[in-house]
Chains A and B, each alone.
Chain A
Amino acid sequence: MTLHTLPALGPNKKLKLPKEMERKLPNGLTVIAIRRPAVPLVELRLWIPFGRAHLARGAMLSQTLFSGTDTMSMVEIAAALQSVGGGLSAGLGPDRLLVSGNGLVTGLDRILELLAEVLGGAAYPGDEVATERERLADGIQVAQSQPSHLARSALLKRMYGKHPYATQTPDVEQVRAVRPAQLRALHAERVRPDEAILVLVGDLQPGKALDAAERALGRWTGGGKQVKLPPAPALTPAPLLVVDRPDSVQSSLRMALPAVGRTHPDHAALQLANLVFGGYFSSRWVENIREDKGYTYGPHSLVEHAIAGSALVVAAEVATEVTGPAMLETVYELGRLASLPPKEDELEQARQYALGTLQLGMSTQAGLAGLASTYAGFGLRLEFLAEYSARLAAVTRDEVAAAAATYLAPSRAVTVVLGDAGRIEAPLAALAPVAREDAQP
């Protein structure tokens, strides 16, 4: 009879940062090149600050940036990228326009040339803009039929009030009103190299990649005004908002709690407190409402960082008939951690998870590119990973308890539940004062 016992872990391997180089070009563009030669590819991320941009125009710009220049059509650009195994696309967030892509590393020069072609000469041709306008309008309609989107929209309104973050999806009517001339104007004003950051990760020599980027993008110019977002307002306590979605077979629970940015002294402790609460599968909340009670499939809780502020967002889709009990358990688990310190082994488990996740996140080209780009957008570099690891390793149980008391207290939460109000309002009203509205796109 063999005994089967859990093997001990081997020694932790030290976090090893990849080789990287950085250069600020005369036009203000920062270029960061990182070597990770695992596969013969390159990942590209270009972060362009875009806070406070007109929402519908910004969304349309991101959809039509690659629609053609004075010398190339949309199809020609796409075909030229494809020829070197490449692809580029743009996406809009509340803080930035992000151009993302990848390709065979032997095509890096060509991909950068095509990127420069578009950044310098995107023409926003009328026909292509008209096509994309309808596609975007249709896409928004589909999004507005998704419970997750509706719940998120309602939560953002509650969290941010009059701040620009309060609305992150434009109305269909606003999109239909966008004209090519407005896109050209927005491009001229905001798609500019100063304060933009280009990250290249892959099977490359960093010095040579910087030279290639400088050759291709050194002549990119453009300048308008610099735009700063006001700080996000603090969360304002309010009654639990029930958003009616008649006949919904599930309810979408959303809670926002206060949080701090990555460099704040409480940040590492807050991350660990969030993990213990609900930030990973082996958390109290997930073990409770999924593995014990079967109320839900994929509950999650995450510290979300934006330039103007951070927040902790708790989200679960639960069966309509258990909406009240699921909310009760959620408030209970938040309150329990805000009131009593976590156990030592719970904290160690969360700490190991946080540290391991950093190693895994850095182990692919795409992971590194995303991390480096996001960090750079917030003024940080990959070196911060070493500092963050050290902080995670050093956080004490008292610090986690203090962070939980400050940030996870359910009395500070802003709460929205989207679902069939006729069936869920009364059970929720038993737990907290409730207000009600109809689902709004």
Chain B
Amino acid sequence: MKIPATKYPVERFTLDNGLRVVLAPDRSAPVIGVAVVYDVGIRSEPEGRTGFAHLFEHLMFQGSENLEKLAHFRHVQGAGGSFNGSTHLDYTDYFETLPSNALERALFLEADRMRGPRLTEENLRNQVDVVKEEIRVNVLNRPYGGFPWLKLPPVMFDTFPNAHDGYGSFVDLESATVADAAEFFQRYYACGNAVLAVAGDLDVSAATELIERHFGDVPARPAPTLPDFAEPDLTAERRESYTDRLAPLPAVAAAWRVPDPINDFAAYLPYVVLAEVLTDGDASRLVERLVLRDRTVTSIGGYLGFMGEPFEVRDPTALLLQAHLPPGGDVDKVLRTVDEELDRLAADGLTPGELARTQARMATHLLRDTDAVLGRALEMAVLEQQRGEPGLLNELPRLVAEVTEEQVRVAAATLRPQRRASVEVIAGGAK
């Protein structure tokens, strides 16, 4: 099967104040996606301020230079659009998708908060409360909360940036101050540290003019130096467990370090394919063995990066597997079987057609993710920020298809137990 590709045109330029811009016109539907990505994430938040990058993301919606509290939401939705923001390990994004007649409005809104959010004590306290409810919904009041994205990093990593809880402790959240927020903005939310991407129903020259008009006078501030978050690979297995009082069934997640996704992309890409060979669908290695044959797990998934974003994460990162077990399931046995299957893959290679069909399905997933103009804008913004290469989005299906069987085999051979970090969920809610 021939792997198809997209041919989204990509325009890149940089404003005088250092803001990098990516435009991806596509006039097939009257909608646009607008994304602003700042090069700061969970890994950059200060010690004693866990969860601050995410809390600050909330504060960016609380009014800005020319906009009262609530105005941002009303202006986006009152134009027929939707908005959100999200905080990741290496970046924070803010985005809207709207009918294309609202392009200029979206640019105005993003430029206004790039000049400066309204940081007030009242808004800060309000959003600390909201974030606490968010953490209760997603972590504290439900089974498997934060598993494994908050539970596995502290097993695998030793340094604060990589190991700490990115949602944050209530103590740290409650001690956050307006001064902290102002300093965080000053340091990280410089336009030299940001990328603006617009995809969809736009004319390049008209959009360029609008962008100059709205962002051109945002004061120039240079990007801070990108910190080095490097940690050495594991040399001995790490294994931990915790009791989840709400979880009815056991679960386990395991991770192995992988090559640098940015600076060693060619070595990294085979791991992205390997994760799918292992876990994508009923014909994949580990689903067939563990779910269908042995019945030692009820589900298993595999992916790159703790937040499951293979092409939007920097080093250090990992290939993760996560599995849910039946009642009384044996985690050791599951991990042993995974090792056995990895050995088999490393020793015997793939079966005829196995790699090609995995790559065909990956192409569908990659193409599907770019179908929405917003998805395209977000991914291109991060590819620009981390690689200076937004057009890589068009190339990914082909690059994935060029990964060879030998590369996948070699990648599998590196996933040894002594390089593995794993965490087991003990079912405290079992009946």
Chain A residues near B (Cβ < 8 Å): 2, 4-7, 9-13, 16, 36-41, 66, 74-79, 81-87, 102-104, 106-107, 128, 131, 134-135, 138-139, 141-142, 144-148, 248-250, 280-282, 287, 290-298, 317-319, 348-349, 352-357, 359-360, 362-367
Which residues of A have CB within 8 Å of B4? 40, 104, 106
8 contacts between A and B (CB under 8 A): A7-B104, A82-B283, A87-B361, A131-B295, A145-B429, A349-B77, A356-B98, A365-B368
Question: Are B70 and A287 in contact, CB atoms less than 8 angstroms apart?
Answer: yes
Question: Are B133 and A138 in contact, CB atoms less than 8 angstroms apart?
Answer: no
Q: Chain A residue with minimal CB distance to B126?
A: A294
Contact of A353 among B66, B77, B104, B299 (CB under 8 A): B77
Q: Chain B residue with minimal CB distance to A357?
A: B80
Question: Are B70 and A282 in contact, CB atoms less than 8 angstroms apart?
Answer: yes
Question: Are A39 and B367 in contact, CB atoms less than 8 angstroms apart?
Answer: yes
Which residues of B have CB within 8 Å of A78? 281-283
**CB within 8 Å of A: which B69-87 residues:** 69-70, 73-75, 77-83
Which residues of A have CB within 8 Å of B358? 82
Which residues of B have CB within 8 Å of A142? 143-144, 248-249, 324
Which residues of A have CB within 8 Å of B100? 10, 13
Annotate B174-186 by CB proximity to A: 1 below 8 A, 0 otherwise.
Answer: 0000000000000
In Å, the complex CA distance between A359 and B100 comes to 10
In Å, the complex CA distance between A317 and B130 comes to 11
> With an 8 A cutoff between CB atoms, is B418 at the interface?
no
In Å, the complex CA distance between A400 and B245 comes to 46
Question: Are B129 and A294 in contact, CB atoms less than 8 angstroms apart?
Answer: yes
Give the size category of B's interface with A. 35 or more
Question: Are A291 and B364 in contact, CB atoms less than 8 angstroms apart?
Answer: no
Contact of A82 among B281, B291, B299 (CB under 8 A): B281
Q: Chain A residue with minimal CB distance to B354?
A: A79
Question: Are B1 and A106 in contact, CB atoms less than 8 angstroms apart?
Answer: yes
Which residues of A have CB within 8 Å of B144? 142
Which residues of A have CB within 8 Å of B65? 4
Which residues of B have CB within 8 Å of A4? 65-66, 108, 111-112
Question: Are B99 and A12 in contact, CB atoms less than 8 angstroms apart?
Answer: yes
The segment out of B11-19, B27-35, B336-344 that lies at the interface is B27-35
Which residues of A have CB within 8 Å of B364? 41, 85-87, 102-104
> With an 8 A cutoff between CB atoms, is B127 at the interface?
yes
Which residues of A have CB within 8 Å of B29? 38, 359, 362-363
Contact of B361 among A74, A82, A349 (CB under 8 A): A82
> With an 8 A cutoff between CB atoms, is B241 at the interface?
no
> With an 8 A cutoff between CB atoms, is B102 at the interface?
yes
4 nearest CB pairs, A to B: A356-B80, A294-B129, A10-B101, A78-B282
In Å, the complex CA distance between A156 and B356 comes to 46
> With an 8 A cutoff between CB atoms, is B298 at the interface?
yes
Question: Are B73 and A39 in contact, CB atoms less than 8 angstroms apart?
Answer: no
Which residues of B have CB within 8 Å of A348? 78
> With an 8 A cutoff between CB atoms, is B243 at the interface?
no
Contact of B136 among A5, A16, A250 (CB under 8 A): A250
Question: Are A6 and B101 in contact, CB atoms less than 8 angstroms apart?
Answer: no
Question: Are B73 and A250 in contact, CB atoms less than 8 angstroms apart?
Answer: no
Least distance between A344 CB and chain B CB atoms (Å): 13
Contact of A83 among B137, B327, B353 (CB under 8 A): B353
In Å, the complex CA distance between A331 and B260 comes to 53
**CB within 8 Å of A: which B280-322 residues:** 280-283, 288, 291-292, 295, 298-299
Other CB < 8 Å A-B pairs besides A131-B295, A142-B143, A249-B140, 19 of them? Answer: A11-B101, A36-B28, A39-B370, A82-B360, A82-B361, A83-B360, A102-B364, A104-B363, A135-B291, A138-B249, A142-B324, A145-B246, A282-B70, A294-B127, A297-B131, A297-B137, A349-B77, A352-B78, A356-B102
In Å, the complex CA distance between A429 and B110 comes to 45
With A142-B324, A250-B141 as contacts: A9 and B101 at CB distance below 8 Å: yes
Contact of A145 among B131, B247, B283 (CB under 8 A): B247
User: SS class of chain A's interface: helix, strand, loop or mixed?
Assistant: mixed
In Å, the complex CA distance between A75 and B283 comes to 5
Question: Are A291 and B126 in contact, CB atoms less than 8 angstroms apart?
Answer: yes
> With an 8 A cutoff between CB atoms, is B357 at the interface?
yes
Question: Are A360 and B31 in contact, CB atoms less than 8 angstroms apart?
Answer: yes
Which residues of A have CB within 8 Å of B288? 75
Question: Are A294 and B133 in contact, CB atoms less than 8 angstroms apart?
Answer: yes
Least distance between B2 CB and chain A CB atoms (Å): 7
Question: Are B82 and A360 in contact, CB atoms less than 8 angstroms apart?
Answer: yes
Which residues of B have CB within 8 Å of A367? 372
Least distance between A386 CB and chain B CB atoms (Å): 15
Question: Are B429 and A291 in contact, CB atoms less than 8 angstroms apart?
Answer: no
Q: Chain A residue with minimal CB distance to B81?
A: A356
Question: Are A298 and B137 in contact, CB atoms less than 8 angstroms apart?
Answer: yes
In Å, the complex CA distance between A292 and B280 comes to 44
In Å, the complex CA distance between A436 and B165 comes to 37
Which residues of A have CB within 8 Å of B264? none
> With an 8 A cutoff between CB atoms, is B373 at the interface?
yes
With A102-B368, A138-B249, A294-B129 as contacts: A9 and B79 at CB distance below 8 Å: yes
Q: Chain A residue with minimal CB distance to B31?
A: A363
> With an 8 A cutoff between CB atoms, is B97 at the interface?
yes
> With an 8 A cutoff between CB atoms, is B228 at the interface?
no
> With an 8 A cutoff between CB atoms, is B222 at the interface?
no
Contact of A363 among B112, B368, B372 (CB under 8 A): B372
**Residue among B66, B129, B249, B326 with max Cβ neighbours from chain A (10 Å):** B129
With A13-B101, A87-B281, A360-B81 as contacts: A41 and B137 at CB distance below 8 Å: no
Which residues of B have CB within 8 Å of A128? 292
Which residues of B have CB within 8 Å of A294? 125-130, 133
Question: Are B30 and A41 in contact, CB atoms less than 8 angstroms apart?
Answer: no
**Residue among A37, A141, A147, A298 with max Cβ neighbours from chain B (10 Å):** A141
Which residues of B have CB within 8 Å of A360? 31, 80-82, 97-99
> With an 8 A cutoff between CB atoms, is B371 at the interface?
yes
**CB within 8 Å of A: which B348-380 residues:** 353, 356-358, 360-361, 363-364, 367-368, 370-373
Q: Chain B residue with minimal CB distance to A40?
A: B4
In Å, the complex CA distance between A12 and B99 comes to 8
Q: Chain A residue with minimal CB distance to B280?
A: A82
In Å, the complex CA distance between A196 and B73 comes to 41
Which residues of B have CB within 8 Å of A107? 1, 360
With A85-B1, A250-B141, A363-B372 as contacts: A138 and B324 at CB distance below 8 Å: yes
Least distance between B101 CB and chain A CB atoms (Å): 4
> With an 8 A cutoff between CB atoms, is B406 at the interface?
no
In Å, the complex CA distance between A5 and B283 comes to 56
Question: Are B99 and A297 in contact, CB atoms less than 8 angstroms apart?
Answer: no
Question: Are A40 and B367 in contact, CB atoms less than 8 angstroms apart?
Answer: yes
Contact of B298 among A134, A146, A148, A356 (CB under 8 A): A134
Question: Are A292 and B126 in contact, CB atoms less than 8 angstroms apart?
Answer: yes
Question: Are B324 and A84 in contact, CB atoms less than 8 angstroms apart?
Answer: no
In Å, the complex CA distance between A41 and B281 comes to 19
Least distance between B81 CB and chain A CB atoms (Å): 6
